[in-house]
Chain A
Amino acid sequence: AQRVTQPEKLLSVFKGAPVELKCNYSYSGSPELFWYVQYSRQRLQLLLRHISRESIKGFTADLNKGETSFHLKKPFAQEEDSAMYYCALSGYSGNTPLVFGKGTRLSVIA
């Protein structure tokens, strides 16, 4: 069964401090991992996916198959990063429904 765990409901950091949003997954095959973000009064949208290996808005995430983790990181938090972040998993084909974690609310304090 597919499962995504985000252990923190709320994460508060000061502006300029490093950020790490944790995500662990459980899946028997080769997963596709994603991070989605929902800013206030905006739609839920894709932030980044592990296969792209890209940095979006300063955020990066590395898939660690040994630890079954896909933590989201940013070296210096900005106030505009305050949002709800969801980690999600799909089967390798990309045609199975995404399973989401419960989400972590990031609050960046000025």
Chain B
Amino acid sequence: SQTIHQWPATLVQPVGSPLSLECTVEGTSNPNLYWYRQAAGRGLQLLFYSVGIGQISSEVPQNLSASRPQDRQFILSSKKLLLSDSGFYLCAWSPRAGGSGELFFGEGSRLTVL
């Protein structure tokens, strides 16, 4: 069966520090991968999605970036965090072909920027 893992689960970082959140999917090949941010009062905001290695689409211009170095690995990064980057980050995957549109979410990473 397919599983998705995110880490770290919790992160407290000072303003201006770098960020790296990692997401890995197991049990499937060629998944579509997504990063969402869940912030209070703003719901779920799509940040990035990827349909293949090295293929990244950005939905919201900001100081975050994403990379997909391997088929089942998706990384969210920042060189310098802002206070406004605080939130709950969710990684998700969906089948490349034959999918119904359903997304499968990870457990999330809570980022607090101080």
Contacts and interface: CB of A to CB of B under 8 A. Distances in A.
Nearest to A9: B41
Contacts of A36: 103
Given A34-B102, A44-B90, 8 more contacts: A49-B101, A49-B102, A51-B100, A90-B101, A94-B101, A95-B96, A98-B101, A102-B41
Interface of A: 6, 9, 32, 34, 36, 43-46, 49, 51, 86, 88, 90, 94-95, 97-103
Interface residues on B, range: 20 to 34
Contacts of B46: 97-100
Contact of B43 (A90, A97, A100): A100
16 contacts: A32-B100, A36-B103, A43-B105, A44-B90, A49-B101, A49-B102, A51-B100, A86-B44, A88-B44, A90-B101, A97-B32, A97-B34, A100-B45, A101-B43, A102-B41, A102-B43
